[in-house]
Amino acid sequence: MKIGMVCYPTYGGSGVVAAELGYILGERGHQVHFISSARPFRLQKFHRNLFFHEVEDVSYPLFKYPPYTLLLANKIVEVTRQVGLDLIHVHYAIPHTISAYLAKHMLDEQIPLVTTLHGTDITLVGAYEEFYRLTRLALNVSDCLTSVSRSLASDTEQLFGPLSRNITVVPNFVDPEVYFPHKKADAERECFAPAGEKILAHISNFREVKHVPDVVRIFDQVQRKIPSRLLLVGDGPEMSKVEREVESRGLKTLVSFLGKQENVQEILQMTDVFLLPSAQESFGLAALEAMACGVPVVASKVGGLPEVVKEGKTGFLLPQGDVKGMSAAVLRLLMDTKLYERMSFAASDLAYSEFPPERAAREYEEVYKKARALVKGKM
Ligand code: GMT
């Protein structure tokens, strides 16, 4: 098939999932045409079946902001005409589904539209008064809807139901050839933990929903009992708040800010415990990547996280905001070598057995088939 894949190019789970899905579909013989404002950051390797089409800005004196939604719609039409797309698969409802819907109206022939919901498009953006009706429209005009967890499917139905389509759950996945346990030799850990300290890590886009200051608070409790270091990976609007939290606690020398990183597996492979104290998380892809690297996760028991992190088996889930409980969970892990090894092994084992990329690709292919049949039926 020739698939038009629309996604955000920036650091964030939905763009990662779209890019990695593209590589697997490309391997399975599909042609995947990415359409976005910039090359998705995980779409760096060349593949004979993957293509990138950039939505370019136009500047016109009357536009305060270039109308991205319209430019994207136009690009989808252009690519469809140029290469003969069989289907459009958009990641993140707003504004991508709306642009694709417009594109469908500008095309002479019917083209199936699949929308994958990733979480914040429903729970945050979709909940804004200004976007609620548009999100509802996006849900109802997609030929097929998928969500990355059961929790997100049920949140969507609760917030926007009744919908004209069922939501198919296709969980995110992890590539075992990239994410695997590889405890770095002391020499490699040394630059972050020179005295053999334990390493805690957090990766996100530093938005409010991630509660990164809680990561610092948890780390503070832990380092009082066990010599440890904290690696903070990513950047975003909450960064200054996080820096203040680090400074006010006198932790500057123990915390490393690594900024945006592409090969996060290298960092995860030297991490002992991964922290994700988010207020909401439809899936928690970073937690899955950590688990695949054999890193137990301590996280909030919210959204889809219980579908990824198995409580007491691959990590610990605590109520959101329970800094004391999360610190105690990290200490428990770091103080009990047997428990740690058992959880570390179970984490990668479960990541591979329950979230294999091939299965996700097959499930998306099924959804594509269904969307095409639905559209054919309408003609
Ligand atoms: O977490 C973010 O703010 C980014 C967002 C995205 O779309 O890039 O992440 C969402 O999609 C990811 C991939 O499906 C999920 O793993 C994240 O849990 C989800 N984030 C939230 O629900 C907060």
Instruction: Set out the domains of the chain in order of their start, with CATH numbers.
Output: 2-173+356-378 (3.40.50.2000), 186-354 (3.40.50.2000)
Residue 293 pLDDT > 70, yes or no? yes
Q: What is the mean pLDDT of the chain?
A: 95
Res. 228 pLDDT band, cuts 50 70 90: very high
Q: How far apart are CA 71 and CA 91, in angstroms?
A: 17
Residue 152 pLDDT > 70, yes or no? yes
Predicted pLDDT at 185? 62
Cβ–ligand 1 distance for 146 under 6 Å, the answer no
Range with the poorest average pLDDT among 59-63, 76-80, 146-150, 189-193: 59-63
Beta carbons of 317 and 309 less than 8 angstroms apart = yes
Cβ–ligand 1 distance for 33 under 6 Å, the answer no
Beta carbons of 215 and 245 less than 8 angstroms apart = no
Residue 31 pLDDT > 70, yes or no? yes
Cβ–ligand 1 distance for 228 under 6 Å, the answer no
Nearest atom (ligand 1) to Cα of 148: 14
Cβ–ligand 1 distance for 234 under 6 Å, the answer no
Predicted pLDDT at 267? 94
Q: What's the rounded mean pLDDT across residues 10-16?
A: 87
> Can you read off the two tokens belonging to residue 303?
């959204």
How much distance in Å is there from the Cα of 376 to the middle of ligand 1?
A: 33
Q: What's the rounded mean pLDDT across residues 125-129?
A: 80
Q: What's the rounded mean pLDDT across residues 84-106?
A: 97
Predicted pLDDT at 184? 65
Predicted pLDDT at 379? 61
How much distance in Å is there from the Cα of 16 to the middle of ligand 1?
A: 10
Q: Residue type for 196, please?
A: G
Residue 328 pLDDT > 70, yes or no? yes
Please name the residue whose Cα sits nearest to atom 23 of ligand 1: 281
- State how far the alpha carbon of 342 is from the alpha carbons of 198, 243, 315, 336, 348, in Å: 17, 34, 10, 10, 11
Count the residues in the chain: 379
